[in-house]
Amino acid sequence: MDVTPDIIVRWLDNYAAVLAENRNYLTELDGAIGDNDHGINMDRGFRAVRDALPNQEGKPIDDTLKMVSRTLIKTVGGASGPLYGTVFLRMGTNAAGKETVSPKDFASVLAAGRQGIVDRGKAEVGDKTMLDAWDPAARAYAEAVEAGQDLPAALQAAAAGAEAGMKSTTPLVARKGRASYLGERSAGHQDPGATSSYLFFKTLRDAAQSG
């Protein structure tokens, strides 16, 4: 089973819906250590993405992912727009020229998204950022594919890795972004970017499993 344009569109539609459902939760998480707007911003950006999805019917995977990047950079405020915009741009660039993406090649697509976070945010694992969910997710996916698991199983491993990474941010002291201004007071709060990243992988898994 390969990643197809239909899976990508179904995933993005579901991710937008889940972000809308979790808008207040993500904003509450951000209110404890950030600008109190992560859920609002992510919901705004992906509502715009969802509105554009009908125009993506029949278009290649890379075109859709790059559309998401452009939309988020234009509509999402704060750090989330540039970071998620870079993720989708790097993923789309890596998937260019492919009608479908094999499970093995999709490991490179996810790795490219992860590297975009590192390059754009200058973050490391343990800094209490979205990378803390992305890094174990991308690694778990690659390891699962290497072990011979199919796409749904590998994405299940990625979602589990992202969830564990998200939860690992709670005791951490933030070293990047607005949360870092709080110093030790940032400990004890789950990172909102890591949380929206977990939802990214959870809905991606669901889209593949329902395909």
Q: What's the CATH number where 56 sits?
A: 1.25.40.340
Count of domains forming the chain: 1
pLDDT at 144: 98
- The pTM score is 0.94
Q: pLDDT (tens digit, 9 = 90+) per residue, 21-44?
A: 999 999 999 888 777 889 999 999
Containing structural domain, residue 16: 5-209
Q: Which residues contact 194 (CB under 8 A, 6 or more apart)?
A: 128, 129, 130, 132, 133, 162, 165, 166, 169
Alpha helix locations (H) across the chain? 5-21, 23-33, 38-52, 61-75, 80-94, 103-121, 131-146, 151-168, 192-209
pLDDT at 176: 64
Weakly modelled stretches of the chain, pLDDT under 50: none
pLDDT at 56: 93
pLDDT at 180: 61
Which SS3 state, helix, strand or coil, does residue 135 take?
A: helix
N- to C-terminal Cα separation, the chain: 9
Q: pLDDT (tens digit, 9 = 90+) per residue, 50-76?
A: 999 999 988 999 999 999 999 999 998
pLDDT at 187: 84
